[in-house]
Amino acid sequence: MQNVWGHWVARVDGMIHPEAASDPFLAPLHRSFLLSCFVSGAAALVVLPLHLALAGPPQAATLLALAWMLSQWPLALYLSQSGALSKAAGLSASLFAVFVAGVCAVTGGALSFALAWLLVPPMEAALAASRRTALAVTGLCGALVLALMFVPLPVLPASGFAGLATPFATLAALLYVGLLSLRIALDRSLAQKVVRATEERRLQISQSVSDIYCELGPDGGLKVIGGPVKDVLGHLPVESGEDWLFPRLHVADRPLYLTCLSEARLSSATRTFEARLRVGANRPGEAGQADYRRLEVQLRAGRQNSLASANGAALLLTLRPLDPIEPSAGKTAGSATDGSARADRISRDMLETAGVEASQALSDILAQSERLERLGRDSSDPVLKLAVQSLRQNGERGLASLTAALELVPTDSSPGEPEITGVDVETCLVQCIDMVARVAERRGVALEMETGQDSPLVAADRKLLRQALCFLLVDMVETSEPGAVLSMGVNLGAGNADYVFSVKNRQSSLCWSAEAAATVLGVSRVLLERMGGSLTVQTILGQGESVTVTLPLRTQAQQSAGRTGEVLRVEQLARSA
């Protein structure tokens, strides 16, 4: 029996229209409609001979029922040839309404036992998934009920069931409506499965591509079609139907975006340009750091259809990241590794620079030593004194440079408590600028520091502060374009001193962004926070971003405590001597 049923199902599948045969949603609906039509017609061919043999000639209502059952075969043929499921379902519901009205006409009109069956065709029309079809069938049923009410017809009770015809007819109508409801529920369940499978396939495709594809409607609404939105943008756009892209574009890139958008709409030509897009979950206008990512934006005409031609063609917008994107699962670990690697590289560069200076200083020391040996130890020549003095100066300079560079090497041991003393930040900056000078010269970046202002002492750890400032300066130099000028200024406040580091470049229209330097800025921020300082990134419209280092000023109590400590250390040294 199962093989026979499978054989007939295979034959029915062969009659499905080619356009619906490969559709995972339409194919089951076509199959169920064709099977119901064939079963109904076959049942009529079986019932008619049995009725003639057992009950004699059928009545008018029975003939109408058999005729309706046989009429399902032409509907199946129409569906197989056209593939129009909605029209076939609408014709089937209309034909059923006419059949019920005919039965009512021969069995009493408005008082017929079959009048309740006119509630069934609108339910069957719901299978068409068309509001126009449902309204048309409902209107047809209403017109038939009105016709049965105003046309006088004789009441002819059903033979053999004079008192039970109406209850039986109502029960049969309930069973039929229940079957239709079950079929509608199965169709909805099938639709949910197909949508879920389609969404899973779309997510798999989105994970395997690097571009974001969006549909830009004529009204400006932007809908995401696919792509790694979370990895590239850092958030999932929830404003479905709104233009969430334009507010996140950099202010300097918005005119170019509007120009290319207008050209793409008017000429249907493809436009490609680069832009900076604000990423992250923070919305434009909110307080916080503005992170921008360079993207390649492409605008081209989408597929034309009847709705698009009536309301205006939609555009296909593609966002392609120009910078490598790390996987979101290991983003935190990747950022920490990247920051550590860059800090190690900066330390090696600083050590290389310090090694060059130390070798020059040692060369001078060796030359002066040879000269000192030639003149003799007992000579009172003033040249000898100059040589000794030069020897001492070069030695001190080499030692200081080497010591400062070695302080930049990160230690593997756990950090101890910082030694907070009074530190002259201007002196630390001068030392750091001397060490960064070679890197800046190689990159073509100029370094400027405001002088002439009495910079007070700050409460900080000298070693940690020098590390943080060197990391900050080197990374800002490396992330700046050639021809840029890195300026350093100070703003004194109540109990704090703000040291502002900003980059200006007249040769380029692009402003410096802290996105490329975020990892090393995090290393400097940690060092500053260990000694009570802070590092913030501020955005100024039209001027780009600047880094502000805030350090607490050394109070009078700290100065007194420092002097007391120095006196105690002197007394201890005196006692030990």
Comparing 54-63, 98-107, 174-183, the range with the smallest average pLDDT is 54-63
Whether 438 and 489 map to the same domain: the answer is: yes
pLDDT of residue 573: 38
Examine the fold and report which residue of 140, 171, 200 is the final residue of a domain before the chain moves on: 200
The verdict on 320 and 333 lying in the same domain is: no
Q: Is 451 in the same domain as 541?
A: yes
DSSP state of 210: S
- Indicate which CATH number applies to the domain containing 379: 1.10.287
Check whether residue 87 and residue 125 sit in a common domain.
yes
- Say what the pLDDT of residue 231 is: 79
Residue 477's pLDDT is 86
Structure tokens at 364: 């001078």
255 and 187 in a common domain: no
Return the exposure string of 270-283: e unless at least 16 CB atoms fall within 10 Å of the residue's CB, then b: ebeeebbbbbeeee
pLDDT tens for 199-241 read 787 777 767 777 888 888 888 788 888 788 877 877 666 555 5
Residue 242 confidence class, pLDDT cut points 50, 70, 90: low
CATH number at residue 282: 3.30.450.20
Specify the pLDDT at position 142. 92
H or E element, residue 188 = helix 165-208
When the pLDDT of each residue in the chain is averaged and rounded to a whole number, the result is 77
End position of a domain, from candidates 200, 228, 259: 200
Q: Which stretches of 160-221 are assigned E, i.e. beta strand?
A: 212-216
Residues 433 and 552 in one domain: yes
Same domain, 32 and 141: yes
Split at pLDDT 50, 70, 90, the class of 141 is: very high
Q: Do residue 167 and residue 182 come from a single domain?
A: yes
Parent domain of 305: 209-325
Q: Are residues 118 and 218 in the same domain?
A: no
The answer to whether residue 565 scores a pLDDT higher than 50 is no
Q: Over 60: is that where the pLDDT of 569 sits?
A: no
Alpha-carbon distances, residue 168 vs 74, 104, 154, 156, 310 (angstroms): 30, 15, 21, 16, 52
pLDDT, residue 98, reads: 92
- State residue 532 phi and psi, 5-degree precision: 90, 5
Residues 333 and 318 both lie in one domain: no
Return the CATH number at 560.
3.30.565.10
Same domain? 136 vs 36: yes
Domain count along the chain: 4
CA-closest candidate to residue 549, choices 571, 530, 534, 567? 534
Distance CA 16, CA 31 (A): 7
Measure the CA–CA gap between 63 and 59, rounded to whole angstroms: 6
Mean pLDDT calculated for residue range 162-175: 80
> Which of 67-71, 277-281, 507-511: highest mean pLDDT?
67-71
Q: Which of 262, 292, 325 is the last residue of a domain?
A: 325
Q: Are residues 87 and 196 in the same domain?
A: yes
- CA–CA gap between residue 301 and residue 313 (Å, rounded): 7
Q: What is the pLDDT at residue 241?
A: 55
